[in-house]
Structure 1
Amino acid sequence: MDRRSFVKAAGVAGIAGLAGCTGGPSEGGEATTTEESGGEETTTTEQTTGGSDAAANIGMVYALGGLGDKSFNDAAKRGIEQAKTEFGITYEEAQPSASEEFPQFQRRFAQSTNPNYDLVSCIGFAQKSALKETAPNFPDQNFMLVDDELPELDNVASYLFREEQGSFQIGHLAGLLTTQEFAAGAAETTPDEKRVGFVGGVDAPLIRKFQAGFEAGVKHADEEITVDVAYSGSFSDSAKGKEIATSMYDKGADIIYHAAGATGLGVFQAASDNGKFAVGVDSDQSKTEPKYADVILASMVKRVETAVFTSVENVVDDDFNGGTSTTLGLEEDGVAAVYGDELGSEIPQDVKDKLETSRESIIAGDIEVPTTTE
């Protein structure tokens, strides 16, 4: 299966396994699982049985980059783990290594009869095109999609986020700090430069929302601040992330915000090497990447776990909201600027006060945050 893997979740005994690379979940079959350990892939086979007394069986198809990104996919994992704890569901996971694999994993869960999957969770905007083809072929199968929408399909519940709102807050924070002398942890600003940066992963409309909000927030603080922007083309290339970030820091950037998945690890490495600040995304990365907590100023937390948990809860309650789109922003606490675990207490109170003011203004509609770049 190469890097593709169905990873057995530690759920209720009796969850069915997945039979090899071409078959779907099967009764009493063998589950072939590919795992990575110490940079090497190992394949193990375990005997599984059909049937389950679980409240629901859930299939998880993760975004590219897979688990262990300390960001987007790991947030989804927290959501399904919370659902397992609270509702007693079982789940199986698929980690595609290329977008071409999305359709086969979506179909494999949908075709399964032992177990029947009550919900197939499709994590990430890149799965939309595949799901648009898959879902109509399985009208009795419930799906959920994170980061895009298919409201025309009655068997798909869509969850979106106002990433631009949370990114505005991060931009506002970066803009306020780059214009003053600020030192905390292992980093400091050079206020004469008035320069910050943004590193995106794949150049797509969704990631442009992060960029647009960030740039608007920076300019809200000071129109004269320079914002360097670059895309790595990947959500899993930390070396490229480090290369881009190092170049930005060399030009004088004080703070770099990334929306690049596991590529962002390279941004943190560059920040640490250069004594500058970085900002995480999706999860509180000062906690998921504690090695770099002394340079991670904040994170734009996107509560993917809320979307996953809510969708499972709806299925368990027999209240699946197919054909609808749920959007989570600042007002719904779907996104938020969360200060770093180590550095948050060092951020001046007047800066925090200004961020709270802009947050309230966004929620009230007094500040309209753009969703596209020029």
Structure 2
Amino acid sequence: MRHYKRIVSTLLAAGMGLSLLTGCQGSQPTGGSTAAAEKTETSGKSEAASGEGAQEKKSDLVVGMIANAFGTQSYNDDVLAGMELAEKELGVKGIPLEVPEISDSANSLRTLISQGANFIMVPSSEYKDGMLEVAAENPEVKFLYLAEAIDGGGNIMSVAYRENEAAFLGGALSGMMTKTNNVGAVMAVGETLQYRYQFGFTAGVKAVNPECEVQSAFTNSYTDVGQGSEVAKIMYNKGADIIGTYSGACNLGVFNAAKDAGEGTYCLGAANGQFDKMPDKILASVVKPADQAILSILKEYQETGIFDTSEPMSLGLKEGGVKLLFTNNDELLKQIPDDVMSTIADLTAKVESGEIKVPSNEEEFNSFTYQYAK
């Protein structure tokens, strides 16, 4: 198996403020410390609830959540769906709060606490600093951090989704389906989960089609639909015929650009699938079924009082935390050949078994040499 060269973005967008991915490296996840584990062990024992105590927790559990926007079919909406599911099935009270300005995150979290929230979900690393500040001030409040793995101490449980594994499958699909030998990847801001998508997607493309060109760029926004459209338009104009996107509401702009690019151009979605947004263009989507995971975490805490911060939770293909979801448009689905579907199934099994370790950062990507062979 030959080592392929480092990918260099070919996207030039002067004046648009785009971040080129080549050489980009964000802070990478760190595991929980021994101190955190010891603290958790003591905390878990002291908080373990009896049946009666768990019943009391049901009426007392108030779940807050901050996000930059709702209603965009982004990951925020998946987390919100988990909160709403917990309201329905567990009887908890939910308080969602839109916080478009990062500088307002700490005070917004304090507002949620003043409104009675004693369990707060933070889905994006944009609010990490504010969360750490407020969590230190309020050790009795539990925080569920859903953006990356961190050592958050006794009252922050972190979840790291292995988006790179589902993105790898999306990249492999794109690498096998491209007619121009040129595909693209659109990300939002330079944070860890976005890098996981970037390197996973590109590794998937190269694993099945080493000669395929991969254009990559950040929009520097989760909400600017127009920016998503402009970035994708440049990629399509430079020869891409399939673009994967993982950029929040900017995804909608990518879908619009795929439509404007005309026949023979496609894209991948994210969030809950988003197929209804452009049913004849979205071949598949990299999704994180967050609602069930959140329901499970809240249910365990409600029933037992245990809030395990000893080590970050990691959810990938094997755990059902991420997956590649294919289009529900039968006509579009027919365009994906049986051998491509078979390869995706084979790659899925290899990732789940550990035979393939999908890169999640630049260092791992640069040493990734896997080449798929039937």
Q: Is the shorter-chain TM-score for this pair beyond 0.5, marking a shared fold?
A: yes
Indicate yes or no: 2:326 matched with 1:321: no
Higher strand share: 1
Is residue 236 of structure 2 the alignment partner of residue 285 of structure 1? no
Matched-pair contact (CA < 8 Å) for 1:198–1:257: yes
What amino acid is aligned across from residue 315 of structure 2 in structure 1?
L
Distance 1:85 1:345 in 2: 38
Give 2:257's aligned residue. Answer: 270
Which residue pairs with 1:107 in the alignment?
110
Residue 330 of structure 1 aligns to a residue whose secondary structure is coil
For residues 238-296 of structure 1, the C-alpha deviation after alignment (integer angstroms, 9 at most, x for no partner) is 1111111111111111100011100111100010111310111122111xxx1411101
Corresponding position of 2:280: 294
Any stretches of 5+ residues in structure 2 without a counterpart?
1-56, 367-374
Partner of 2:206: 219
- What is the aligned counterpart of 2:234 among 242, 247, 266? 247
Residue 350 of structure 2 corresponds to residue 361 of structure 1: yes
Q: Secondary structure at the match of 1:245?
A: helix
Distance 2:282 2:306 in 1: 38
Unaligned runs of 5+ in 1: 1-51, 179-190
Partner residue of 2:338?
A: 349
In the TM superposition, what is the alpha-carbon distance from 1:134 to its structure 2 partner? 1.2
Q: Counting helix residues as a fraction of each chain, which structure ranks higher?
A: 2
Q: 1:207 maps to what in 2?
A: 194
Cα distance in 1 for partners of 2:335, 2:66 equals 39
Q: Tell me: CA distance 1:53–1:315, structure 2 relative to 1, closer, same or farther (3 Å).
A: closer
Secondary structure at the residue paired with 2:249? helix
Residue 136 of structure 2 aligns to a residue whose secondary structure is helix
State the 1:109 CA deviation.
Answer: 2.2
Note if contact 2:95-2:117 (Cα within 8 Å) is conserved in structure 1: no
Q: Name the structure 2 match of 1:260.
A: 247
Contact kept? 2:273, 2:287, Cα under 8 Å: yes
2:152 and 2:99 map into 1 onto residues whose CA distance is: 26
Cα deviation, residue 54, structure 1: 3.7
What's the offset of the Cα at 1:110?
2.6
- Report deviation, 1:318: 3.0
Q: Is the 8 A contact 2:58 2:90 kept in 1?
A: no
CA deviation after TM superposition for structure 1 residue 206, in Å: 2.2
Evaluate the alpha carbon distance shift between residue 152 and residue 94 of structure 1 in structure 2; reply closer, same or farther with a 3 A threshold.
closer
Q: Determine whether 1:56 maps to 2:61.
A: yes
Instruction: Within 5 Å, give how 1:133-152 maps onto structure 2.
Output: 133-152=133-152
Q: How does 1:179-198 map to 2 (within 5 A)?
A: 191=179, 193-198=180-185
1:122 corresponds to which residue?
122
Change (3 A) 1:101 1:344: farther
Aligned 1:328-339 pairs, distance under 5 A = 328-339=315-326
Whether contact under 8 Å (1:136, 1:153) holds in the other structure is no
Q: Which residue of 1 aligns with 2:225?
A: 238
Residues 135 and 153, structure 1, Cα contact 8 Å, conserved in 2: no
Instruction: Work out whether 1:91 is the aligned partner of 2:94.
Output: yes
1:23-69 deviations in whole A, cap 9, x for unaligned?
xxxxxxxxxxxxxxxxxxxxxxxxxxxxx98462211112x2x1011
**1:320 Cα offset (Å):** 3.4
Q: Distance in 2 between matches of 1:168 and 1:220?
A: 9
Give the 3-state SS of the residue equivalent to 1:261 in structure 2.
coil
User: What SS does the aligned partner of 1:321 have?
Assistant: coil
CA contact (8 A) 1:283 1:301 kept: yes
Q: Name the residue aligned to 1:73.
A: 76
Q: CA deviation at 1:339?
A: 0.4
* In 1, Cα distance between equivalents of 2:112 and 2:203: 41
Q: Take 2:183 and 2:150, find their aligned partners in 1: how far apart are those partners?
A: 36
Partners of 1:336 and 1:259 lie apart in 2 by 14
The structure with higher relative contact order (CA 8 Å, sep 6+) is 2
What's the secondary structure of 1:341's corresponding residue? coil
Output the amino acid matched with 1:370.
P
Q: CA deviation at 1:315?
A: 2.6
Measured in 1, the distance between the counterparts of 2:199 and 2:221 equals 19
Partner Cα separation in structure 2 for residue 306 and residue 344 of structure 1: 27
SS of alignment partner, residue 282 of structure 1: coil
Q: What is the TM-score normalised by the length of structure 1?
A: 0.77
In structure 1, give the amino acid aligned to 2:161: F
> Offset of 1:204 from its aligned partner?
2.3
Hey, what's the Cα distance between the residues in 2 that align with 1:150 and 1:133?
Answer: 14
Question: Within 1, Cα distance between the matches of 2:203 and 2:216?
Answer: 13
Q: Partner of 2:369 in structure 1?
A: none
| Residue in 2 that maps onto 1:24 | none
CA distance in 1, matches of 2:207, 2:288: 22
Cα distance between partner residues in 1 of 2:212 and 2:149: 35
- Please give the root-mean-square deviation of Cα atoms over the aligned residues, in Å: 1.7
SS at match of 1:317: helix
> Which string of whole-angstrom CA distances, capped at 9 and with x for unpartnered residues, describes residues 190-221 of structure 1?
x2x21100011112232111010000000011
Task: Give the letter aligned to residue 320 of structure 1.
Answer: I
